[in-house]
Structure 1
């Protein structure tokens, strides 16, 4: 941190790297000597073309995206993709969904509008279920690899052996760790967690999955059309792509614990999560209810043993410069989202507050 800004633990739209925000401010009125703000540029002009080209190249490099995957810059967010994916991949047939929390449950409900959906396994948002019942003739299997609300994360992707493509909603941990592309057919995520402002959705789709959209799929959401037009079939979210590109450059330059780039981000995320979970586990005053083997590095829900103290906790946290710690309304309690841009110092400040609050109210 280069200023005295508070630490923002919002689940999304979320905190952004301060150097990126400073660069955006500096370039707001004139990008690269063009005399224009990025918000004023034609998406088909050479200036924005250069921004998009670099952003895609940097993202492909950071995540080691194979050449047979197309990267699409789209709109609609994760909720939109819950419809866009089955419109492109289900062919009106069968879709298997593993429900691990709130977002995969929504995905299953939306996909039912376009396909025969089978819940292959389900849990209450505290662990990853075992004993999946998958259909060999399903069009794809859907999993949410990080449940933002419930705090459940797949630390290893499932290896499907029946040849059915795996679709992952990785919205809230995209760019926080590597992706094993050999196990994935399609990945998608909203950018507003680790990557940039709301409005941009990233889709990574294997080329052999293009060209199967249902007739009712809107043309602007047809992956084959979007890929053929290099994400320019309709006006893309230009400003969000620009900010995302700056975040990609920030990640590439990051140096932490002797590592650089994505490896540095992953190690810092491991350290941040480890520090926070250790503090929660050491306390009889706070409780995290997620199984230890699938706790999210990004979203850490926790509960005070006496929920009558919730409002006092949030007010005192705000006074200490710790913002947006209230849990999702569907589950209650607290939630600390510690995305890529949250520095280690922010988690240290939160842990210090947790301990101080317990000493005074426990």
Structure 2
């Protein structure tokens, strides 16, 4: 393969639209930067990548992505420290995971050289869109779609890999209350729950909309077989603090191998916080809530980092969680963001300088 730094073709915008953006009032994922990265897979080969002005795509209505759902994506962020240096957080894990997702969806894996060189050059172009200060970041969305024009039910022969970027602030705000799922499921054994396949998320919208009508912001998904085991929260991995012990479900073919999740587990071990990675039952969490042993529930994911949950309902039983001055949620969010914004030591080498 040729040197990716020489191979990437770059076409810049004639004038940036950044002056039209109010960075103090950003709605998550609604504003996009000036450029995007594009690479097509044709005749069994990833072609010369391009960085070009952000623009609509021209795509045939018969493209297989519309009919058979061959689409996967990732979520990443870039951060700027006080010295105007740009950092990413564990991007090699994102590259590995989008290829794991692609493999599960019969999509060809994307070359590491193109991924990192494309990201680096794109972020250098968009550096002014990355604002300093905790909470400010550039959300990065790599994704792949099947583009072959055919409506026969088989894997496509052509694909488009893209990266688009969106300036963001904090994702979730206010108190979040959740329903424990009793009927609907996010994923099943042998399925695609561990992949960031687009269809996983589309299938969540209907049951989540029903939860909204009951006054809940999210669902904590339970296993598809028995609905006895707690697995994920909305689009995030989930943690329970019972006493001073953290509980979280093990990764599996139903549960995403979350990068924030495994970072929290490592930080807990670094700080002598006991973590049990095991199946967590609905009944034990309800009992812990009744006895006062359930101190916290929080989600962990790229967009929100750590999202505290203030209460839950299951089978008509409602529980509110205590407000803590020394919450694990705040502790882990501070630890993670200090590393991401280059404000603290990075003993595990998670930061990646752009």
TM-score by shorter chain over 0.5: no
**TM-score when scaled to structure 2?**
0.22
**TM-score when scaled to structure 1?**
0.22
More strand by share: 2
More helix by share: 1
